[in-house]
């Protein structure tokens, strides 16, 4: 009788082990099968995990959330003494919105589960006045041994052009995210900066590459009108932000602005930092050039190429091969590129 009871206990313990690993897999498989699928833009960061093999470390646009995305229920904690509501490792929920390519963007962040269909749960990694860093437990993509390096090499080629990776994530009803795959952007982007003898940036050249295997068209508006200059969200912590002055009016896209790129062909767009159209300013301040020395040089910026929406190009020639997506360069600070 004692032995039988003992045997039952052993069987129970063994079954519990099996149940734990089955539950781990089942929970995520449920999300994969029935969850909403979105793509998340990655930022570049190729380590090897001794237990899980090769993996690619991922960083997402939605991992770095600016202050404007926090509604009233989140308070900043800029100093040690400040009474804030957010602690490291605290659970937060990022509400998402997808574009026509099913690429998701962060819309707002809450501390309680939002009553909307599309959101992802994470934990606070770091918290500053103007920036929130969040981990979503989807920061690693495990691949077969050797493939990690291949992915890294594709993401960042020898010619300095980056081909962004978009990770497909299934989202569960409770915000649990599970990586289900990835795809590569059809357009790669590179950045070069020239500097003067005092190491101030003078010009920037953005290179667009057709990374696909078929012809694609990009839009090259005059005076680099296809590009935008944005602050790098990853490094805005407690300092006041410098913003690009922007464009007063948008040029209409015409046939002469369309540039067709064959596979592996590139197109370059040059920006002159001394041109007032590319000045930056603080809220309520005067516009200044990134070429002149000053604190603004401490802040990182990035260029964004935005393909025009289909509605603006449907009557143009080559409209069927125009690329409508968005791609972002590496961050730069002064004349230094990350």
Partner 1 sequence: MRRLTRRISKELKAWVSEGLITAGQEQAIRARYEQGTGTSWGMILFSGLGAVVTGLGVILLFAYNWDGIPKLVKLFLIYGALAAAHATGIRLFAASRKRRVVGEACCLLGTMFFGAAIWLVAQIYHIDEHFPTALMIWSAGALMMAWALPSLAHGILSSLLIVVWCGMEAVAFHAPVHIAPLMILLLLGSLAWRQASRLLMGFVIPSFLICLLMVLVTGAGHEGEIVAMVLLNVSVILVAAAGLVFNHARASRFGSIFSLFGWLVFFVLLYAMTFPEAAEDILDIEFGRVSAVPMVYWSLSAILALSAWAWLIYRCIRQKSTYRIPWEHYLLPATVLVSMCGMLQKPDGWLAALPYNLVLLAVTIGMMMRGCRETNARAAIVGSIVLVVYTFSRYVDLFESLLVRGAVFIVIGIAIFVQGVLYNRVKKTAGDDNAD
Instruction: Tell me how crowded residue 207 is: count the other CB atoms within 10 A of its CB.
Output: 17
Residue with smaller CB distance to partner 1, 1 or 20: 20
Residue with smaller CB distance to partner 1, 132 or 178: 178
Pairing type for strands 53-57 and 140-142 reads antiparallel
In angstroms, what is the minimal distance from the CB of 13 to partner 1? 4
Looking only at residues 173 through 232 of this chain, which bind partner 1 when binding is defined by CB under 8 A?
178-179
Q: How many CA atoms lie within 13 A of 293 on its CB side?
A: 4
Residue with smaller CB distance to partner 1, 11 or 82: 11
In angstroms, what is the minimal distance from the CB of 229 to partner 1? 32
In angstroms, what is the minimal distance from the CB of 154 to partner 1? 16
In angstroms, what is the minimal distance from the CB of 110 to partner 1? 21
- DSSP label at 337? E
- DSSP label at 253? P
Looking only at residues 21 through 80 of this chain, which bind partner 1 when binding is defined by CB under 8 A?
21-22, 24-25, 28-29, 32, 49-54
DSSP secondary structure string, 185-220? -SEEEEEEEEE-TT--EEEEEEEEEE-SSS-EEEE-
Q: d(Cα 242, Cα 273) in Å, to the nearest integer?
A: 14
Of 12-20, 67-75, 216-224, 305-313: span binding partner 1 (CB under 8 A) = 12-20
Looking only at residues 293 through 322 of this chain, which bind partner 1 when binding is defined by CB under 8 A?
none
Residue 183 Cα distances to 43, 150, 166, 261, angstroms: 14, 14, 5, 20
Pairing type for strands 258-261 and 119-127 reads unpaired
In angstroms, what is the minimal distance from the CB of 86 to partner 1? 18
User: Rounded to a whole number, what is the distance in angstroms from the first to the last CA of the chain?
Assistant: 70
Identify the residue among 35, 124, 139, 300 touching partner 1 (CB under 8 A).
Answer: 139
Identify the residue among 11, 45, 82, 116 touching partner 1 (CB under 8 A).
Answer: 11
Q: d(Cα 334, Cα 338) in Å, to the nearest integer?
A: 11
In angstroms, what is the minimal distance from the CB of 178 to partner 1? 5
Task: Please report where in the chains the tokens 């969200």 appear, as a residue.
Answer: 233
The closest of 173, 155, 145 to 54, measured between CA atoms, is 145
In angstroms, what is the minimal distance from the CB of 128 to partner 1? 20
- Chain centroid to CA 210: how far? 20
In angstroms, what is the minimal distance from the CB of 45 to partner 1? 12
SS3 assignment, position 4: helix
DSSP H or E segment with residue 153: helix 147-155
Q: d(Cα 274, Cα 297) in Å, to the nearest integer?
A: 14
Residue with smaller CB distance to partner 1, 12 or 298: 12
Looking only at residues 146 through 165 of this chain, which bind partner 1 when binding is defined by CB under 8 A?
147
Asked if residue 166 binds partner 1 (CB under 8 A), the reply is: no
Instruction: Tell me how crowded residue 33 is: count the other CB atoms within 10 A of its CB.
Output: 10
Of 62-70, 135-143, 149-157, 224-232: span binding partner 1 (CB under 8 A) = 135-143
Residue with smaller CB distance to partner 1, 55 or 301: 55
The residues binding partner 1 (CB under 8 A) are: 3, 6-7, 9-14, 16-18, 20-22, 24-25, 28-29, 32, 49-54, 135, 137-145, 147, 178-179
């Amino acid at each position: 009788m004692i032995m039988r009871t003992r045997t039952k206990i052993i069987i129970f313990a063994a079954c519990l082990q099996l149940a734990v690993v089955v539950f781990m897999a089942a929970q995520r498989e449920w999300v994969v099968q029935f969850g909403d699928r979105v793509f998340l833009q990655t930022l570049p960061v190729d380590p090897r995990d001794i237990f899980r093999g090769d993996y690619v470390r991922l960083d997402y646009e939605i991992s770095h959330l600016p202050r404007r995305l926090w509604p009233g229920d989140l308070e900043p904690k800029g100093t040690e003494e400040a009474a804030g509501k957010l602690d490291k490792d605290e659970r937060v929920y990022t509400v998402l919105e997808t574009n026509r390519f099913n690429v998701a963007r962060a819309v707002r962040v809450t501390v309680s589960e939002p009553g909307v269909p599309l959101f992802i749960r994470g934990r606070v990694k770091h918290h500053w006045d103007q920036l929130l860093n969040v981990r979503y437990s989807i920061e690693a993509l495990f691949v077969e041994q050797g493939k990690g390096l291949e992915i890294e090499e594709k993401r960042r080629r020898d010619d300095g052009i980056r081909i962004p990776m978009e990770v497909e994530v299934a989202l569960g009803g409770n915000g649990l995210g599970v990586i289900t795959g990835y795809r590569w952007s059809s357009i790669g982007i590179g950045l070069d900066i020239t500097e003067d003898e005092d190491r101030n940036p003078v010009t920037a050249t953005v290179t667009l590459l057709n990374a696909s295997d078929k012809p694609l068209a990009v839009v090259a508006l005059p005076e680099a009108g296809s590009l935008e200059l944005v602050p790098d969200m990853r490094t805005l912590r407690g300092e006041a932000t410098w913003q690009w002055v922007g464009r007063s009016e948008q040029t209409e896209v015409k046939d002469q602005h369309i540039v067709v790129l064959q596979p592996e062909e590139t197109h370059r767009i040059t920006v002159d930092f001394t041109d007032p159209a590319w000045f930056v300013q603080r809220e309520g301040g005067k516009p200044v050039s990134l070429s002149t020395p000053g604190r603004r040089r401490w802040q990182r910026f990035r260029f964004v190429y935005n393909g025009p929406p289909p509605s603006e190009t449907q009557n143009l020639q080559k409209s069927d091969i125009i690329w409508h997506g968005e791609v972002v360069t590496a961050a730069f600070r002064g004349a230094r590129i990350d």
